[in-house]
Amino acid sequence: MDGNTTLAFYGIGAAAVATSVATLKKRLQLSQAKHRSLAGHARMSRWLAGFVPFYDYDEDRFFSSDEAPEEIAARRRNGFHRLSALYKARFAETIKQTAAASEKISDLQFTDAYRVPFQYRRVVQAHLPSAAFVQSSSGVTVTDLDGNRGYDLTGSYGVNVLGYDFYKGAMERGAARVRELGPVLGPYHPLIVENTKLLKQISGLDEVSFHMSGTEAVMQAVRLARYHTKRSHLVRFCGAYHGWWGDVQPGVGNPVPAHETYTLNDMSEDALRVLRTRHNIACVLINPLQALHPNGSAPSDSSLLDSGRSAHFDKDAYAEWLKRLRAVCTKRNIVLIFDEVFVGFRIAKGGAQDYFGVRADLVTYGKTLGGGLPIGVVCGRHDLMKRFRDDRPADICFARGTFNSHPYVMAAMNEFLRYLQTPEADAIYRDLDQIWDRRAAQLNARLAAQSLPVEVANLSSIWTVCYTQPSRYNWMLQYYLRAEGLALSWIGTGRLIFSLNYSEADFAAVADRFVVAAEAMQQDGWWWHSPALTNKTIRRTILKEMIRRRLFGPR
Ligand SMILES: Cc1ncc(COP(=O)(O)O)c(C=O)c1O
């Protein structure tokens, strides 16, 4: 080897080492930017989920899985069977119809299975069967097939912002306005023009595209970001829900791994470092609802194994985080997408952009915007919304959808958007946070005064129930609440969604019933507590049960 060759050889070697050190550093930064929970590690959580064995408790263990003494187990048993008798009498027809339909509707089978931690499922299903049918709605209530009227805390997955009667009116009036056209798709009904104008005003963005669901709107926003930046990866934050499309749901629940998604730690400096240093990031997806529980997944009672659920909304801190994200995205030409499918039109008329004082490049809306009908919308900057390149005619960003811009949806949406322009709507949004914060504080004060180990946390009208003392039975509260005439969605106390037409009297009735339900649950011994019972010991017990089951099978 002559001197020059040797030099070149060392040069290449040094460059290779430098490259791998840089790659390693980036890899390390990425690891540091993940939230330490399992939800922060999508691949690992999918892998581990495959090892969780099914096992369940017989009736004895069901009442004493926290090693409560027999006297407490007996109180629980009595309470449980009293509740069971009440359910079977009061909801007889609704339960009957649900059971019959469940065999044929796979969604019902799923939601029915995931109402409580799986160890308790069999006994609960036998004695507290689901009643998943309703026949009418009015004011802030829904009525089941047995004629029981309950206060609606489901919010129809967040769609119901203005009250069911408003949407009934919007759907009816809207249908009348487009009846002449009927189901014609392809060409538009002229109503779309006003919708577009109003959406541009509200979002402060240049263009609009219409889709059939929030999931599809998010798909399109991400696809556009990838197309225009020519980069591969999307960044989402740990726990955030953006619909059920694979790339935004990379962990448990998606059978296929997502290869081009980074799931990062919310509100963290390490995440900003990744955005500053990686060159393959097309967009950052924000679901502002995460402000209530950064890095936490959508809270569901089926994962309420202990009392570890926590939530706290700090508006200033989250606004500050969004501002910092905005600055990094601007600097790095990363598309900032606000997914306002849930919170848009709920927390403020101008949505999360107005509420937090931060502008996004693309915004997705859905749910309530359809005026009661299915919808997904993307609003964005002109340069990002364009689906073809003037100088490369074959390089397009394809997006269709048979039912997009359906005349009936456009008409109901028009009713919704026009209503938002009225002084009446202004009045609804005025003082919204004060109203809901006060209501939450009042309820919490009553619960605390009675030493009930429950409290609520809220982001405006979106609430979650937290538990202040270690217990394995918090998920039972959903059944006591239903017995008091409060209608909850299948995720139980994880999410209570109020429509904004709740009057003080309506809310007072809900608060009274909530307290009565929690008292009954306390009376029945479910919140029995001993110093040995901590969230840690609960989790350890469950882990041991799982390992035993995995190693030795059913015994
Ligand atoms: C923030 C967010 N994005 C997207 C979606 C998906 O919307 P859809 O259920 O209409 O597909 C949801 C639904 O809950 C959502 O909350």
Sign of CA dihedral 326, 328, 333, 337: negative
Residue 342 Cβ inside 6 Å of ligand 1? The answer reads yes
Q: Does the C-beta of 237 come closer than 6 Å to ligand 1? A: no
176, 366 contact by CB (below 8 A): no
**Average pLDDT in the chain:** 95
Pocket mutation for ligand 1, best pick of 242, 244, 290 (most atoms within 8 Å of C-beta): 242
Section 42-47 average pLDDT: 89
Residue 10: both structure tokens together:
């060392």
339 in ligand 1 pocket by Cβ < 6 Å?
A: yes
Q: What is the mean pLDDT of residues 150-172?
A: 98
Provide φ and ψ at 288, rounded to 5°. Answer: -60, -15
> Which segment of 27-41, 171-185, 354-368 scores lowest on mean pLDDT?
27-41
287 lines ligand 1 (CB under 6 A): yes
The answer to whether the CB of 162 falls within 8 A of the CB of 428 is yes
Residue 13, pLDDT score: 67
- DSSP characters over 305-353: SSS-------HHHHHHHHHHHHHHHHHHTPEEEEE-TTTTTTS-TTHHH
Closest CA to 515 of 470, 459, 453: 453
Higher pLDDT, 3 or 116: 116
128: left (phi over 0), alpha (psi -120 to 50) or beta: beta
Share of residues in the chain with pLDDT > 90 (%): 91
In the DSSP assignment, the letter for residue 55 is: -
* 4 pLDDT higher than 90: no
How far apart CA 500 and CA 235 sit, in angstroms, is 32
CA distance 456 to 437: 10
Query: What local confidence, expressed as pLDDT, does residue 8 receive?
Result: 66
Res. 9 pLDDT band, cuts 50 70 90: low
Share of the chain above pLDDT 70, in %: 97
Q: Whose CA is nearest to atom 5 of ligand 1?
A: 243
Model confidence band, residue 22 (pLDDT cutoffs 50, 70, 90): confident
Rounded to a whole number of angstroms, the distance between the first and last alpha carbons of the chain is 71
Q: Contact, 337 vs 221, CB < 8 A?
A: yes
Residue 111: what pLDDT? 95
Distance 341 CA to ligand 1 centre (A): 5
Close Cβ partners of 239 (under 8 Å, ≥ 6 residues apart):
35, 39, 266, 290, 293, 294, 295, 296, 297, 298
pLDDT at 246: 92
Strand ordering across the sheet containing 376-380: 207-211, 376-380, 362-366, 335-339, 281-286, 233-237, 261-264
Any atom of ligand 1 within 6 Å of the Cβ of 365: no
With vertex at residue 161, the alpha carbon angle to CA 493 and CA 347, rounded to the nearest 5 degrees, is 85
Q: The whole model's pTM is what? A: 0.95
Query: pLDDT digits over 243-298, tens only?
Result: 999 999 998 999 898 999 999 999 999 999 999 999 999 999 999 999 999 999 99
Q: How many angstroms is it from 45 CA to the middle of ligand 1?
A: 22
Give the model's pLDDT for residue 161: 98
The residue whose CA is least distant from atom 13 of ligand 1 is 243
Structure tokens at 284: 């950052």
Q: Residue 481 C-alpha to ligand 1 middle, in angstroms?
A: 26
How far does residue 199's CA lie from ligand 1's centre (Å)? 18
d(CA 471, ligand 1 centre) in Å: 31
